[in-house]
Amino acid sequence: MMFEMAQTQVPLFEYDNLARDEIRVLTLLPGNDADPIRCEFKSLKRTAAASTFSALSYLWGPEPQDYETIIVGGCRLPIRPSLHDALVALRRASLEKQRLWVDALCINQFSPEEKKHQIRQMGQIYTCASSVTVWLGKAAGDSDYVMDTISAGRSAEYTTRRFMTAMIAIFNRPWFTRTWVVQEFVLNRKPPVIACGFNKPLISWTDFNDAYVTAFPQAANAEIALLPDPHRFEMLPLLDSWLEIHRVYRTFESFRAGIQSASPERPTYALHSALYATRIFQATDPRDKVYGVLGMTNPESQAHIDPNYAKSVDEVFHDATLYILCHEATPAVYTFLPLDRSARPGLPSWVPDFANLAAGRYMGVPSLVDKGEDLRHSGAEVRVSERGRRLMVRGVVLDVVEEAVKPPARQQPTGLEGVEVYLDGRLREVMDAVREWMRGQGLVEEAMGEEAAKFLGAMVYMIELSKAVDQMESMARSCTESWAEGFPTRSLRHMLVIGQDVQSGGDETMQVLFDQLLGAMRELTATIDMVDWRLRINDIALLLNLISNGLSRCGNMPSSLDPGRRFFAGHGGWYGVAEGDVKAGDQLAILFPGANVPFILRETNGDCYEMIGVARLPPGRLAMEIKSGRVGEFREITIE
């Protein structure tokens, strides 16, 4: 209280100028809880400061209504509460002075010029730090139990429901969702140190990771085991939650492995690769979707992309797209960033919204062109108009869309009563049969209400989906008759469901299960004989549940059947799945010679087009048509 009353008598801290080759290092002084946080700054050459400080990674959080105050060199400096909590926790953890680098403090946030050159060095700063400390926030959701259990090495508790639930809660914390923290986590050679809650031990990421892999053994495998014991219905909510966080975990781990294995022979990521790897992460400032990954990119990307916050969001996205198309010479960015401009109507249609979190629904790079190597084209053949609005690229129109089908939306009932509205008389009998089966398995219906609703909601969704797939199959058969003998059902299933190149093998188990699912749903609408259906439940119940929870964010789920996409068929015999609101009259074209990526275009004014989105075509057909010379001559196409 005395400190608060005396604050107005303490002058505000003013930053000194910082040379371009210097960084500020913060010294956190020891003290008691009753004392204000006291610090000192020292400016050092970055090369001289290497390995003399620990870098702090934490969540900035939204703009607060009230700031906390720390004392720096005898002057007061307002800081966000989340950072104040981190400094309090670190001070409690040590009786010694601590040398830290903290972005919000060590960079003068009121100097655009300093921010510009310091942000360019952030990758090197985190790389040369002696260690990285991750502050996850205050104790919540049984996090103290997790930290104490791991610190004490009580590994027998890692597989208990309490520990698993608490671990999931930790991974659901906002820190794991932010773009900036990825580079902060992966760049340093040493595994980060995890801090969570006050007066709790700091834990190395190695120990934290071991606990996670023990709790969820599937995490140690490259592929998620989708079908554990289907009788363990009580674990379904936990499994659903784990599948959501596992993708984040895999991103951190795989990105760190890639960065740590980088060398002159194996350089760090190209910009488009870094954007792809961080597509599921968020940024308060949309420009940080680009600037926040620069520290992990190769020198060429860092030299061309300037972290200039004087530029608008649209300008940053425009410049990044143009760099990728012209200098990295790849259109791969279109395969994981949808061209939805609803949030940014000022963007040209060929510039993706890098902040669009629907980027998780990527179409998949290799399968687009029926080959496994990177998508490459001649950057010299891509140019823009003088004002930068129009993109000129070579391409050829293949077909005009005759019909487009929107997949059904997933049903998300919240209880059994929410399912009732979807059920006719026959399906009511099905629901009763499922309840009977559940009781036969010793399941308590009252405890299963929500899960049973999800299950039955998934059944309703699959029935609607089977109808849509039947329509798509009919359209595809009609198209196929014009260019091939027989109908390649397997190709359609791969295109619709697997989201992987046929030549890479795909996920055969998923394809078989999906076909069984559709077959079961069709039989379900034709007969009420539940003998066969009950036998199938053991095999597909969990898969139905996962689909009902919308797990297209898992890479091998049926990502092509997303409401944001359309199945289309053309007058000339082409069919496929495309991003965006495809309509009759749109044109199917391949752009970027060499990469030969299919796109849906819409004619606008004169000879100009709007880019609607990328398309997936039947595996093998595009390569066959190009090889035979039947696709026509490439010409310059203008997109605005």
Provide, rounded to the nearest whole percent, the portion of the chain with pLDDT above 90.
43
Which residue has better confidence, 267 or 447? Answer: 267
Q: Residue 489 above 90 pLDDT?
A: no
| Domain housing 472 | 416-553
Last residue of a domain, which of 175, 193, 215? 215
Quick one: 36 and 80 in the same domain? yes
- Residues facing 616 on adjacent strands: 577
Q: What is the mean pLDDT of the chain?
A: 77
Last residue of a domain, which of 195, 215, 235? 215
How far is residue 165's CA from residue 141's CA, in Å, rounded to a whole number?
A: 9
Quick one: 530 and 569 in the same domain? no
Quick one: 504 and 582 in the same domain? no
* Residues 18-41 as b or e (16 or more Cβ within 10 Å = b): beeebbbbbebeeeeeeebbbbeb
Quick one: 476 and 607 in the same domain? no
Quick one: 465 and 598 in the same domain? no
Quick one: 65 and 205 in the same domain? yes
Quick one: 545 and 488 in the same domain? yes
Provide, rounded to the nearest whole percent, the portion of the chain with pLDDT above 70.
68
CB 515 within 8 A of CB 493: yes
Q: Residue 160 above 60 pLDDT?
A: yes
Q: Residue 32 above 80 pLDDT?
A: yes
Q: Residue 151 above 70 pLDDT?
A: yes
pLDDT level of residue 62 (50, 70, 90 thresholds): confident
How far is residue 638's CA from residue 640's CA, in Å, rounded to a whole number?
A: 7
pLDDT at residue 230, as a whole number: 40
Ranked by mean pLDDT, which of 235-249, 403-417, 439-453, 518-532 comes out on top?
235-249
Residue type for position 435: R
Q: How far is CA 312 from CA 290, 315, 634, in A?
A: 12, 5, 35
Q: Is 385 helix (H, G, I), strand (E, B) or coil?
A: coil
Quick one: 538 and 610 in the same domain? no
For the chain, the distance separating the N- and C-terminal CA atoms, rounded to the nearest angstrom, is 60
Last residue of a domain, which of 180, 215, 250? 215
Quick one: 545 and 569 in the same domain? no
Quick one: 98 and 203 in the same domain? yes
Instruction: Note the pLDDT tens digit of each residue in 169-197.
Output: 999 999 999 999 999 999 999 999 999 99
Tally the domains of the chain: 3
Dump strand ranges (E) for 373-469: 383-384, 391-405
Instruction: Note the pLDDT tens digit of each residue in 520-529.
Output: 444 444 443 3
Q: Residue 618 above 50 pLDDT?
A: yes
Q: Is 164 helix (H, G, I), strand (E, B) or coil?
A: helix
When mean pLDDT is compared across 45-49, 250-254, 262-266, the lowest value belongs to: 262-266
Quick one: 511 and 614 in the same domain? no
pLDDT level of residue 550 (50, 70, 90 thresholds): very low
pLDDT at residue 219, as a whole number: 61
Quick one: 520 and 624 in the same domain? no
